[in-house]
Structure 1
């Protein structure tokens, strides 16, 4: 199916996921873009391997794949779709301006849309436990395979200095696996293996 057969809603979903540069729940996508990604549009984008969706409870979370990022980069220079309306016309004018800026500056699309690491860490924590639960840093890292280790480490250290967030060493060091030890974040002179967010 050629790209020009994507519906406006499907295009809008891809561009909203690009702008947020992170995994979004349907509720978050509705808050950002005004609509969820569900039903036929979700299935079509999943089948085209532009978006990966996974069920979380009774809803879905969505994230761009590498092919989805490539589609978005190509779409920056695309013509405005027919029947895009005023909002769509303005959006495609903005995308064309971004395309010109990236081309002139030599920057990549990823330079324009940096993922919010704090949001990603908090979302991963929520997937692994409830507020007040201790979650292994090793499990957290597995939930964030596309976030560089140093970015996660820096964010955990920053969050540990904020109220309601605790990053500590495991009390039973003998129970730690090799994976737990390898995944530990080190700051303040200590290896820390567990994360807890109170609320």
Structure 2
């Protein structure tokens, strides 16, 4: 079974590809099929995930899965939330490729987050992930899974791995930032891992995979 991922993020594809390996599905990005990114006008991860999955399924004619995820910080009332990927104002340098632009945006987002939390004593936060899977754009029974991974925001980045806010997100139970975790450990504990376990069970039950 081929499943289109409603994202062009290569690192997200690699992470989800490993998580969904037990199903034996072929996961491909929408960008590799010439699909543009969908609008994400909503205030919740679930609504934006539905919009992205429906767009990918409509354009490709394939079953689709969308991951809408981000960071919710308690002291900021849930920010950056659904705006996590584009939290900071950012203008890309002309001629830079997509991954270079994404890394520069990530760095700007992290700087803004630290600025907003300057002097804060409550630094609790959660990575959250909604996974939405559709058999078609009109699927009346979308599969919805949700994962939450709690931690706290450090004052300085630590670690070279991962992406996004991973260098700032410290997981007390593991004693490290997400960016410091080996891939295997991250994939065993992350918000995407939690949601993926739920989604795999839903796909096996509802889609008979």
Pair in the same fold by TM > 0.5: no
Highest relative contact order (Cα 8 Å, sep 6+), 1 or 2? 2
Q: Rg larger in 1 or in 2?
A: 1
Q: Which has the higher helix share?
A: 1
> Normalization by structure 2: what TM-score?
0.26
Q: Which has the higher strand share?
A: 2
